[in-house]
């Protein structure tokens, strides 16, 4: 039997760039620049340049990035923020942490991205803004969402945790909305050796405010002007991320090549794939398909030594944690369909040709 194929294998990146990563970590240790500090700052600068915003404010993870963005926009108790029902739960946590209420909107049946028509239906006098998610690396319809937001005086924040380097109408994600929130969790398109995140923006006021929030609420040490958090990016993570950032364009190209091959060469009519509008450049963070009998397909792949997993088996509006909001099954039917039928195929930049071919062949010979 051939070698097992993992859904994602980070060891190959480490093996390829081991020396460089360890040297970067060594420099941080030698200078004991552990919390924030020059290596975290240097990464912020490089990441802002990569994304194309004036500022990038490194934080300790993507969830904190979303929390800080909501705080900087003045979201709080009594407010509502519209978020997609089908996303990783952290998109909604940032809203909840402020005391505000996430309002879940369904996705479109074709792109699986937040449905602008559903956003419009959810707007109330309490709505402050919208967080769109570039889910699986596919940009959401920013043009349509922004048009609705402007008409109602709402902000748009981008959750870019899965979409480093993706573009909407030629513009990088993270430059479109008021702020872009990124995660560098291991397995994201750009990842730390631990946890990390960043908020990108052009407005100096947001940058300054988030810099204070992440740093215990102070601009001057030991003078705390507001309730703050310990959300700083670690120096080691900044140093590692500065190394990885150089490789990100190459990784993105590989992801796009593999993604396009899956789209073209997996022809089994049992599968439905995410659609990718021509005004977007997706980065294939996750390659998700839907299959009628999902669990059966996952078992079939596992038997052949291929690991698949699920993103995500329970939509946010039906999570127990949000039971208090009173959503019912049937409230977001497209998100619920996805949760019940989604499967994520192996995709990572270091996949070998024979692995890509084997995944395609196995998908095509699956009989259901
Ligand atoms: C990973 C992720 C987050 C959270 O990032 P962490 O760094 O894990 O806190 C938020 N939103 C989406 C869509 C994600 O995929």
pLDDT surpassing 90 at residue 135: yes
For 324-351, what is the mean pLDDT? 98
Helix (H) or strand (E) segment spanning residue 44: helix 37-51
- Please pick, among 38, 77, 146, 188, the residue that the annotation labels catalytic: 188
Taking the model in full, what pTM does it have? 0.98
The rounded distance, in Å, linking the Cα atoms of 46 and 132 is: 25
Quick: pLDDT tens for 245-284: 999 999 999 999 999 999 999 999 999 999 999 999 999 9
Q: Which atom of ligand 1 is nearest to the CA of 183?
A: 7
Quick: pLDDT tens for 215-231: 999 999 999 999 999 99
pLDDT surpassing 90 at residue 1: no
Q: What six digits make up the tokens of 110?
A: 């074709």
The rounded distance, in Å, linking the Cα atoms of 116 and 95 is: 20
Distances (CA, A) of 170 to 68, 97, 200, 275, 334: 27, 33, 18, 18, 28
Quick: pLDDT tens for 139-189: 999 999 999 999 999 999 999 999 999 999 999 999 999 999 999 999 999
The residue whose CA has the least distance to atom 5 of ligand 1 is 62
For 317-337, what is the mean pLDDT? 98
Residue-level pLDDT at 2: 81
Distances (CA, A) of 168 to 113, 121, 135, 282, 356: 13, 24, 13, 9, 27
The rounded distance, in Å, linking the Cα atoms of 180 and 159 is: 6
Q: Which residues pair with 155 in a beta bridge?
A: 129
The Å distance, Cα 62 to ligand 1 centre, comes to 5
The rounded distance, in Å, linking the Cα atoms of 211 and 306 is: 43
**Confidence tier at 18 by pLDDT (50, 70, 90):** very high
The residue whose CA has the least distance to atom 14 of ligand 1 is 161
Q: Which atom of ligand 1 is nearest to the CA of 91?
A: 11
Quick: pLDDT tens for 21-41: 999 999 999 999 999 899 999
């Amino acid at each position: 039997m051939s070698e097992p194929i993992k859904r994602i294998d980070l060891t190959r990146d480490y093996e390829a760039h081991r020396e460089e990563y360890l040297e970067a970590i060594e420099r941080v240790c030698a200078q004991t620049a552990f919390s924030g500090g020059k290596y975290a700052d240097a990464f912020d600068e490089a990441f802002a340049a990569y994304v194309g915003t004036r500022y990038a404010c490194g934080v300790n993870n993507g969830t904190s990035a979303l929390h800080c963005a909501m705080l900087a926009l003045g979201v709080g108790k009594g407010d509502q923020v519209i978020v997609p029902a089908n996303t990783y739960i952290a998109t909604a946590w940032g809203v909840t942490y402020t005391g505000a209420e996430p309002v879940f909107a369904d996705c479109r049946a074709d792109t699986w991205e937040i449905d602008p028509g559903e956003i419009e239906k959810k707007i109330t006098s309490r709505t402050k803004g919208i967080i769109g998610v570039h889910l699986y690396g596919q940009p959401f319809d920013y043009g349509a969402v922004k048009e609705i937001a402007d008409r109602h005086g709402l902000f748009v924040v981008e959750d870019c945790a899965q979409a480093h380097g993706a573009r909407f109408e030629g513009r990088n994600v993270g430059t479109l909305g008021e702020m872009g929130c990124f995660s560098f969790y291991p397995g994201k398109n750009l990842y730390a050796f631990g946890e990390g995140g960043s908020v990108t923006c052009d407005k100096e006021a947001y940058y300054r405010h988030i810099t204070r929030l992440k740093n215990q609420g102070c601009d001057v040490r030991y003078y705390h002007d507001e309730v703050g958090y310990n959300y700083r990016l670690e120096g080691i993570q900044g140093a590692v991320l500065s190394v990885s950032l150089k490789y990100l364009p190459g990784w993105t190209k590989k992801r796009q090549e593999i993604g396009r091959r899956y789209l073209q060469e997996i022809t089994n009519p049992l599968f439905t794939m995410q659609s990718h509008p021509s005004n977007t450049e997706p980065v294939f963070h996750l390659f998700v398909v839907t299959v009628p009998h999902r669990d059966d397909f996952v078992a079939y792949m596992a038997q052949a030594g291929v690991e698949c997993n699920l993103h995500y088996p329970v939509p946010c509006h039906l999570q127990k944690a949000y039971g208090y909001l009173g959503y019912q099954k049937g409230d977001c039917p497209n998100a619920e369909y996805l949760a019940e039928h989604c499967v994520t195929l192996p995709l990572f930049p270091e996949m070998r040709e024979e692995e890509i071919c084997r995944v395609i062949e196995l998908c095509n010979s699956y009989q259901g």
